[in-house]
Amino acid sequence: EQIAVLRDVTQLKQAELALKHASERFRYLFDHSPDAIFVESLDGVVLDANHAACELHMMAREQLLGASVFDLVPGVDQHLAALRSQSLISGEMSDFESRSLRGDGSIVPVGVRISRITFDGAPAVLLHVRNITQQKQEEERKREQERQLAHVARLTMMGQLVAGIAHEIRQPLWALSTFADVCG
């Protein structure tokens, strides 16, 4: 006597396929994002990084994986990064500007957006990092332009003040010379 047990696994297979497609879509977006994307553990270890992250830091993916996120911050900013870390992880802070240290030792200004996620079943942090060098250069250009306009305005105002003083000095002298001509 044989007993056969049949079980319909259609829904299970459909769910597995949907999960596989979602995972593939996420991986594609992760890999092709123009922004650097890092996944880091709560203690600051880089768990994953996309191609843009490698380009931003001028490092191979293998160099980034397992590295401390604090090693990707210039030395003078590491203390501030450590202080920020707790407020970032707790969700008190999600957007900020910072600086990133590149593999060649250069420093680049970055905008960072951070959020909490679950990665491989554990709590983690997702960082979107954008190079804001052009934005900072544009801001500096605008500040310089404003400084120049303020300087021109000061010079114009000083010129008008000098012209007013000169007019005030000439007025009595002109009246005196006219009086001298009449009395003369």
pLDDT in tens, 16-48: 888 888 888 888 888 889 999 999 998 889 999
Digit-coded pLDDT (tens) for 142-160: 988 888 888 888 888 888 8
Query: What pLDDT score was predicted for residue 157?
Result: 86
Provide the pLDDT for residue 61. Answer: 94
Beta bridge partners of 107: 101
| DSSP 8-state class, residue 73 | S
How would you list the strands of the sheet with 122-131, edge to edge? 46-49, 36-41, 122-131, 107-119, 95-101
Unique residue bearing structure tokens 């951070």? 114
Averaged confidence pLDDT in the chain: 84
146: left (phi over 0), alpha (psi -120 to 50) or beta: alpha
Task: Calculate mean pLDDT across residues 161-184.
Answer: 67
* pLDDT score recorded for residue 106: 93
Q: Is the pLDDT of residue 167 over 80?
A: no
Q: Give the span between the Cα atoms of 103 and 105, in whole angstroms.
A: 5
For residue 136, what pLDDT is reported?
Answer: 83
Predicted confidence at residue 55, as pLDDT, reads: 95
The pLDDT of residue 174 is 60
CB contact at 8 A, 36 and 51 = no
**Per-residue model confidence (pLDDT) at position 92:** 61
Q: In the structure, what pLDDT confidence band is assigned to residue 117 with cuts at 50, 70 and 90?
A: confident
- What pLDDT is recorded for position 100? 92
Tokens 């259609």, located at residue? 10
d(CA 88, CA 184): 88
pLDDT at 37: 94
CA distance 68 to 43: 8
> Looking at residue 56, what is its pLDDT?
95
